[in-house]
Chains A and B, each alone.
Chain A
Amino acid sequence: MINLIIDVSRYLMILLIALYTYLNFRYFSFQDDKRKNSICRRQNILMFLIHLLAYGIIWLETKDERMLVFYGAQVLFFFGYLFLYRLFYRNLSKLLVNNMCMLLSIGFIMLTRLSFDKAVKQFTIVVVAAAVTCIIPFIIDRVWQLSKIPWVYGIGGVILLGIVCVAGTTSYGAQLSIGVAGFSFQPSEFVKISYVFFIATMFYRSVSNRSILLVSGISALHVLILVLSKDLGSALIFFITYVFMLFIATGKWRYLLGGTVGGILASTLAFQLFSHVKTRVAAWLNPWADIAGKGYQISQSLFAIGTGGWFGMGLYRGMPRKIPVVEKDFIFSAISEEMGGIFALCVLLICLGCFLQFMMVAGNMQAVFYKLIAFGLGMIYAIQVFLTVGGVTKFIPSTGVTLPLVSYGGSSVLSTFIIFGIIQGLYILKRNEEEEDQYES
């Protein structure tokens, strides 16, 4: 009987998230606020239903009372976050907050199933991050000085990355994090933001040749240090983001073309120079050749996704923990295995929806500085999602980056909260301006 309930809930969850995803895109076709608000309300209901069903299954499978307490705490958090955010910021993008909560809840569900302790840790970080980043929209609105300190961003970023490169702890062959007061801290997650701010402030001041040269140099330094730290995923994200931002700031196609050609050349060079790049590419081309060694992770991931199929094995019915670092880089495979391929695709589409929101904000901003920031952060987000999902499905070589808001990892969660907070801030800024305009006219 329990199996039946679990099976039915599984299909129901797929249906609910499909509906949620549909509303996510339907939203863009409406102009009036009333209908938009009604969509967001329905999304909230769907999210809480999925969350409830999932924890129902988790409880049936584990019969562990702690799960119920944990579930209660999460519901409180989501209610509080959704409510307070709306209370503070009347003009916020509800869709963006909804998507954040949806992705977070999926992350909590999957992490609880994978490791209760890690889920609790993640939840704690999320609560703190949510509280702290609540003020970001407020800061964006008031603090003009943010556009005046390019060198703080640029030099700060280089220094932080440099420290990790020299003194970082190595995990899976890459220096990613440093230990500070008992916490493992991954600076590249935050440097992503300072990096976008650096480029935006510099290009906001000037897009003269001298300025371009300067920004290119500092950006190249970022990328180079990341390559030396063997953090190839981040290096790629930084590089592409720079080329795209340069293109948007100058409007010149030759920079995009040059950047693309340069990127291809650099990748080829990296392939020749670094053995770990060769390993990754070999594991991508044919993971079956060394299935017990270098191809192990990706082949386990494909087993997980393939065995789960479109509808998934059901929570606790798969073996996601066979995949090394499943809770971080390979969480997407775990979702696909147990909650189903359709569910996982919906997650991907929700991420795409967030990216579209980012780009709309970028399009709506008048000031170059804000426009570049929204655009740059959006690109960082989109590329990261693409790299992680493409990597675990063998669409592209695996680069070892996390799925924002879903994967386990404090730095990743906090930095994503900051990014979403900044976009939210820009969105609110714009809406406030529009309201004032209306008022004046």
Chain B
Amino acid sequence: MKANANPKANHQILILTYGIVLLFIGLVVYYGYFLQVKSDSVINNSYNARLDSFADRVVRGEIRSSNGQVLARTDVDGEGHETRVYPFDSMFAHAVGYSVNGKTGLEAQSNFYLLTSHVNIIEQVINELSSKKNQGDNVVTTLDVDLQKKAYEALGKRNGAVVVMEPDTGKILAMVSKPDYNPNTILSDWNSLVAEENTSGQLLNRSTQGLYPPGSTFKIVTALEYIRENPENYKDYVFDCDGIYENGDYSIKCYHETAHGHQNFTQAFANSCNGAFSNLGLMMDLNGLKNTSEQLLFNTDLSLPFPSNRSSYIMAQGADTWQILQTAIGQGQTQITPLHNAMITAAIANGGTLMKPYLIDHVENAGGDIIKKFVPQAYGNIMTAEESAKMTELMQAVITEGTGSALRTDAYTVAGKTGSAEFDKNKETHAWFVGYAPAEHPKIAVSVIVEEGGSGGKTAAPIARSLFDLYFSR
């Protein structure tokens, strides 16, 4: 047969062979990376039916508070029958969730860890030989029982939500949503909870998924945009308030038509003067306001390890006057979740850097050895340090000379903003408070909403006060 027409053929075959080998190495490395790093987050998915079969060989682990108190555990009786027990009844209902008829909350988020056992190999063998199940790993959360209890009791019978966060880590210390349910009796209550005539929505976690008009807490965003547009002379702004601001056919009322009189920028913010902020809205670049909102994560999936709704902000260039007047004071079509409001507040407290909120501190095996540790992660800078300092100054004035008087104390300094969000002409407003303390070196940030609670300063601020008091008394 003919000799080779291409004298370099073997050399070139070698090169292509190397190419293919390289491709395979890439595949192997990717595969290893997937198994070692990515698989945990991938497989913990409600569509992965495999996890349920883990329960055949593992007793579901415990969910614990940050100091080790049991929030959920599985009791096994003599016949091997398992019951999930929640010692705090409904206090942690939404944060911890339930694990019958589907899973929610931490029961869903940490399902994989709870059903994976890392007990030592000798114990595994002994369990195997005595045909006992292995004990699943325990999930230790960031939740603080005292703060949760305080928030839970402070909300009382009213509907609403409370989120408490550490601004510099993103740890969620408390997460309360009302109305609630008792996870211990959820199976027997199920039908009434999901009944069509039941409109109270006990199963919904309002703190992460409830969408509310932000009301005057949105003035944080409006103020920030105004500061961005006028960084040097924003404080020169003045407004004369007679309780009702009229613009053409439209009029914007301050809360209870209170006439604030002559207001500078800081006073307008501290007193939550609707007239002044509506007026500011008309003066500003609407696309700029939209951009600032989106930088603060409106219209953005928060992409957290637990479900959350995205807050929405709609207005842009070309909006009509009424819409501008409304949107600038947090009414109109804008909607926000209590968690998102807590995140914005925490970012201001943390010099503009938003830390990702998280609920699981670490996973440990039944013997207490740490299996996996979660560390704080930055979401990014949503404003500059300078801007956050300016916002802190404004928000401190809210407490010292404005609507946040409920938080005036010598024990610590607070920066915050109240809100009374109108949602139905015939009903009381939703009461909001967001804030953090101490203002100089923030340790905790809170977001409180009380549905139909009336004035934020009168209803929501005292709840924040009780949380701060508790936190700083320890």
Contact = CB atoms under 8 A, between A and B. Distances in A.
Contacts of A1: 128-129
B31 A355 contact: no
Given A306-B35, A307-B48, A251 B6 contact: yes
B201 to A, nearest CB: 25
Contacts of A348: 24, 27-28, 31
B42 A3 contact: no
B452 to A, nearest CB: 37
Given A306-B34, A389-B27, A249 B50 contact: no
Interface string A348-359: 110010011001
Interface string B41-53: 0110101111101
Nearest to A4: B128
Contacts of B30: 393, 395
Interface residues of B, number: 43
Given A244-B16, A366-B3, A303 B45 contact: yes
Given A306-B39, A319-B53, A390-B27, A207 B47 contact: no
Given A4-B128, A248-B16, A303-B50, A341 B31 contact: yes
Contact of A292 (B23, B39, B47): B47
A362 B20 CA distance: 15
Interface stretch (A114-122, A187-195, A368-376): A368-376
A92 B157 CA distance: 84
A368 B34 contact: no
B378 interface: no
Contact of A291 (B9, B20, B24, B45): B45
B39 A309 contact: yes
A363 B24 contact: no
B258 interface: no
B295 interface: no
Given A305-B35, A393-B31, A352 B49 contact: no
B31 A307 contact: no
Interface string B369-412: 00000000000000000000000000000000000000000000
Residue from A288, A355, A359, A369 with most neighbouring chain B CB atoms (10 Å):
A359
A291 B28 contact: no
Given A291-B45, A299-B47, A247 B27 contact: no
A214 B376 CA distance: 63
B195 interface: no
Interface in A367-397: 367-371, 375, 379, 382, 386, 389-390, 393-395
A251 B24 contact: no
Interface string B6-33: 1111101110110011011011101110
Nearest to B39: A306
B319 interface: no
A366 B36 CA distance: 46
Contacts of B43: 302-303, 306-307
B125 interface: yes
Nearest to B24: A352
A251 B13 contact: no
A345 interface: yes
Interface of A: 1, 3-4, 7, 147, 204, 207, 244, 247-251, 288, 291-292, 299-300, 302-307, 309-310, 313, 317-319, 322, 341, 344-345, 348-349, 352, 355-356, 359, 362-363, 366-371, 375, 379, 382, 386, 389-390, 393-395
Interface of B: 1-10, 12-14, 16-17, 20-21, 23-24, 26-28, 30-32, 34-36, 38-40, 42-43, 45, 47-51, 53, 125, 128-129
Given A363-B13, A382-B20, 5 more contacts: A302-B39, A344-B31, A355-B17, A368-B4, A393-B31
19 contacts: A1-B128, A4-B128, A249-B9, A251-B12, A302-B42, A303-B42, A303-B45, A303-B48, A305-B34, A306-B39, A307-B48, A307-B51, A341-B35, A344-B31, A345-B28, A348-B28, A356-B21, A363-B14, A386-B23
